[in-house]
């Protein structure tokens, strides 16, 4: 197979969906996974109605090691390779630390951070075998700066940066790059839980004066898969309208 095969976790909504659409427009075969079977089916129908046949969608909870193992094994059996991995799936469960429950701590750490190990440890051997790979992990500006009510989320996203840099060192001589794209506040369902007055404050702090669009993250992710980016590894690319400066 000469086409590039990409696995994008959490590609049925928001940033992940924009990444999938961008990849499809660039003629990649796109495989995604998410937990909601009905939405997955709708997502797949939608892509097929748009004329794409090079798509697939798995029900897989990225916080679950065994589900990730069997999903990647199935993809290998069906398609033989994974050239590009985008670890995008993520959740928030915000609360100040004094109100943070163990359940919310664990859910966020498992979905946003354990998932990197759960998926990547199974995909990496396929990339090593072919001496090629592009791994892109989606972090957050709040993993760089911290945020009130997000000790769990900021810790998980900061962990993403350590994971990225360490793995980049391990595989840099194998033609595999590993980078983090760190979005600021992007218009997706994830933002829907933020009260309007807080959102207005946030927008007021963004130097370019607006929220970002999922497509703006997807463009940067795509660039990291192109030949022009082959000298970039172990990097954190901030896409946040300048918010990281404050």
- Active centre residues (catalytic): 153
- Residues numbered 174 to 233 that lie near ligand NDP (CB under 6 A) are 183, 185-186, 188-191
* Phi, psi dihedrals of residue 64, rounded to the nearest 5°: -110, 110
Q: For the chain, first and last CA: distance in Å?
A: 46
Does position 238 interact with ligand NDP (CB under 6 A)? The reply is: no
Task: Number of residues interacting with ligand NDP: please give it, by CB under 6 A.
Answer: 29
- Binders of ligand NDP among residues 29 to 58 (CB under 6 A) are 33-36, 39
By beta-carbon proximity to ligand NDP, the closer residue of 19 and 127 is 19
Which CB atom, from 3 or from 37, has the smaller least distance to ligand NDP? 37
- Please state the closest distance from residue 12 (CB atom) to ligand NDP, in A: 4
Query: Which H/E stretch holds residue 177?
Result: strand 176-183
241 counts as binding ligand NDP under rule CB under 6 A: no
Sign of CA dihedral 117, 118, 121, 126: negative
Query: Is 13 an interacting residue with respect to ligand NDP (CB under 6 A)?
Result: yes
CA distance 157 to 141: 9
Using rule CB under 6 A, residue 91 touches ligand NDP: yes
| Position 62 contacts ligand NDP (CB under 6 A) | yes
Angle of CA points 19, 62, 110, to nearest 5°? 115
φ/ψ (deg, to 5) at 26: -95, 20
- Please say which residue, 34 or 168, places its beta carbon nearer to ligand NDP: 34
Query: What angle is formed at CA 135 by the lines to CA 103 and CA 219, rounded to 5 degrees?
Result: 100
Tell me the backbone φ, ψ of residue 153, rounded to 5 degrees. -70, -45
Q: Which residues bind ligand NDP (CB under 6 A)?
A: 9-10, 12-16, 33-36, 39, 61-63, 88-91, 111, 138, 140, 183, 185-186, 188-191
């Amino acid at each position: 197979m000469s086409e590039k095969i990409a696995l994008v976790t959490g590609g049925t909504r928001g940033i992940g969906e924009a990444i999938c659409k961008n990849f499809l427009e660039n003629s990649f075969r796109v495989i995604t996974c998410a937990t909601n079977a009905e939405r997955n089916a709708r997502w797949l129908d939608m892509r097929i109605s748009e004329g794409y046949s090079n798509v697939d969608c798995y029900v897989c909870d990225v916080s679950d090691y065994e589900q990730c193992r069997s999903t990647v094994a199935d993809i290998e059996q069906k398609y033989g390779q994974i050239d590009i991995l985008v670890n995008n799936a993520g959740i928030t469960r915000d609360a100040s630390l004094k109100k943070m429950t163990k359940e919310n701590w664990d859910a966020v750490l498992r979905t946003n951070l354990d998932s990197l190990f759960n998926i990547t440890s199974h995909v990496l051997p396929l990339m090593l075998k072919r001496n090629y790979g592009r791994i892109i992990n989606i972090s957050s500006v709040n993993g760089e700066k911290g945020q009130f009510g997000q000790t769990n989320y900021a810790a998980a996203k900061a962990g993403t940066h350590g994971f990225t840099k360490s793995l980049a060192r391990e595989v840099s001589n194998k033609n595999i790059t590993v980078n983090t794209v760190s979005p600021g506040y992007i218009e997706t369902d994830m933002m829907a839980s933020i009260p309007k007055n807080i959102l207005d404050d946030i927008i007021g702090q963004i130097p370019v004066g607006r929220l970002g669009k999922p497509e703006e993250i997807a463009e940067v992710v795509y660039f990291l898969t192109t030949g022009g980016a082959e000298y970039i590894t172990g990097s954190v690319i901030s896409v946040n309208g300048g918010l990281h400066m404050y």
